[in-house]
Amino acid sequence: MVYSGKQYAFPKNEPSTGSWMVKQTLASDICTKLLTGIGSGACGFNSYCTMDQDERVDCICAPHYSFFDNDRKYRGCKPNFAAQSCEQGGESTFDFQVVDNLDWPLADAELYNPMNETECRINCLNDCFCAVALYNNGSCWKKKYPLSNGRFKIDVNRRALIKYSTSLSSSSQPEEERKLRDWRIWAIGGASLLLLVSVILNLGLLAARLSMRRKRTLVGASSDTAGPALCLFTYKELDEATKGFSEELGRGAFGTVYKGALVSDTEVLIAVKKLESMLELEAAEKDFMNEIHTIGLTHHKNLVRLLGFCKEGTHRLLVYEFMSNGSLNKFLFGSDSPNWNQRVEIALGIARGLAYLHEECRTQIIHCDIKPQNILVDDNLVAKISDFGMAKLLRLEHTRTSTGIRGTIGYFAPEWFKNSAITAKVDVYSFGVLLLEIICCRKNLDWDYDFGSEVKPTLIECTKECYRTGRLNLLVEEDEEAKKDGMRLERFAMVGISCVQEEPWMRPSMKKVVQMLEGTIDVAVPPNMYSLHM
């Protein structure tokens, strides 16, 4: 038996006169003195050793971990959550629990010095092999499984950032909670099934009505479709609907958009996009149909709805719902720009639409060209993302030449110009630029405030300088409503700066961006906040 740092023994050969005797005196603090290169140390793996009030050793599981065997705690602990996925977006459901004076001195994966705590968090969060990050005075140690030789003591000068899944694991819940949760799942599932049946029936009736209308008004239309609710139009039908493509709504990287109208029982306004790159890129018929099918399956409040398409001869046209207020570019930078609360809702809508494209739809879609011209606004001032799926449809996501990159200067992520992988983080960067523009109603490359720099600064640089000097009100000088909402103004500015970090791994996912904008999670001071290049 070990007690108070001493090893005791009881002599079995002298039961009548025998007594407990001290056989060996151990270190007064076993937790910090005992360190094993092989094995788990004083306690099991993924746990840590501490001394109770009676100076007895106690083994405790790390937060969000539980013992394999409560009666034999030395066997160690297991996580109460599934391991982090190494696929893109796997970090979005993980967070940290902070415990001071806790250390696992072995199981080092990497050491960074110098590095601040925020960068340490982000680095571990984006590394699916990192279980815990330990931070102390500019040094960041990343730890991998299994964690060994854990010790907790007031004079242990470490801060443990213990990574865990924010999705509650069933193994960590009491039986009663699991039963209640299961009952709720069954109840919600039953209600959802009834709702789904109702929706399917209504959609079926609607599709039947639309089919009847099309047969009456769109002569020569085929019954062929690329997916649910997508109509196949003939070129003649769209030529007539747009009156010979006479009213141009806009011209962009992927083609020209025209206003049109489908006349059935009522007149339905549409926007018809003529794709101009299909012959040049010789996109295969199968690839075209596959991407149209993917786009047709995306349904979200903040995405422009694709209604149909044309693939006749060399013609490739897409038919979208019509947005009465046009693009955000005209709406935001015009003489009658939206008020602060409207801009807040527009920013949130765009963020939610991008989060859906990245993480919630059946196939991940990276937009590759987020800018005000590709955000449309409807009658109710709801922002909707357009041109999603175009980069893959026209095979532009792999194009890296200066002449081949499509879009507008000022919104490109740095990796477009490097030999780096193009991931969803390019959209995060572009959204960060757009968010700052929405805050200020000014363009990134059209900022004229004088900070004493010889080179005209961008809006990104001006926002960093205003944040650093505590003068964010300069960004919204003539907007009293925004200045009164100072906490949200600061939060939105910090999110924008976090999104435009140079390295993709330092940018948050769009799901986290939505949570930060909504205020459901805190926004850390963006990394490299005080690093300006002006």
- Report pLDDT digits (tens) over 224-260: 444 456 888 999 999 999 999 999 998 876 789 999 9
Nearest to 512 by CA among 140, 99, 96, 128: 96
**pLDDT tens-digit readout, 279-300:** 444 445 666 777 788 888 888 9
Same domain, yes or no, for 369 and 299?
no
Q: Kind and range of the H or E element at 447?
A: none
Number of domains observed in the structure of the chain: 3
From 369, 387, 427, 479, the catalytic residue: 369
CB 362 within 8 A of CB 293: no
**Where is average pLDDT lowest: 122-131, 215-224, 481-490?**
215-224
Crossing angle of helices 486-499 and 340-355, rounded to 10°:
40
Whether residue 274 is annotated as binding a ligand: the answer is: yes
Residue 270, pLDDT score: 93
Residue 221, pLDDT score: 37
Nearest to 299 by CA among 291, 307, 290: 307
Same domain, yes or no, for 128 and 13?
yes
Asked if the structure places residue 201 within a domain, the reply is no
Position 319 pLDDT exceeds 90: yes
Question: Half-sphere exposure (CA, 13 Å, Cβ side) for 433?
Answer: 23
Nearest to 5 by CA among 27, 36, 20: 27
The CATH number that applies at residue 279 is 3.30.200.20
Spacing of C-alpha 393 from chain mean position: 23
Q: 272: pLDDT confidence band, cut at 50, 70 and 90?
A: very high
pTM for this structure?
0.57
Phi, psi of 50 (to 5 degrees): -145, 165
Position 172 pLDDT exceeds 70: no
Residue type, 133: A
DSSP, res 485: S
Neighbours of 89 (CB within 10 A): 16
Residue 75, pLDDT score: 81
Asked if the structure places residue 174 within a domain, the reply is no
Asked if the structure places residue 49 within a domain, the reply is yes
Neighbours of 94 (CB within 10 A): 19
- 3-class secondary structure per residue, 12-51: CCCCCCCCCEEEEECCCCHHHHCCCCCCCCCCCCCEEEEE
DSSP, res 276: S
Same domain, yes or no, for 388 and 505?
yes
Asked if the structure places residue 527 within a domain, the reply is no
Does the annotation count 448 as an active-site position?
no
Asked if the structure places residue 510 within a domain, the reply is yes
**Measured distance CA(412)–CA(368) in Å, rounded:** 8
- 3-class secondary structure per residue, 252-273: CCCEEEEEEEEECCCEEEEEEE
Task: Give the range of the structural domain holding residue 304, as residue numbers without chain letter.
Answer: 213-321
Asked if the structure places residue 448 within a domain, the reply is yes
Judged on CB neighbours under 10 Å (0-12, 13-18, 19+), 213 is middle
Residue 445, pLDDT score: 77
Same domain, yes or no, for 358 and 458?
yes
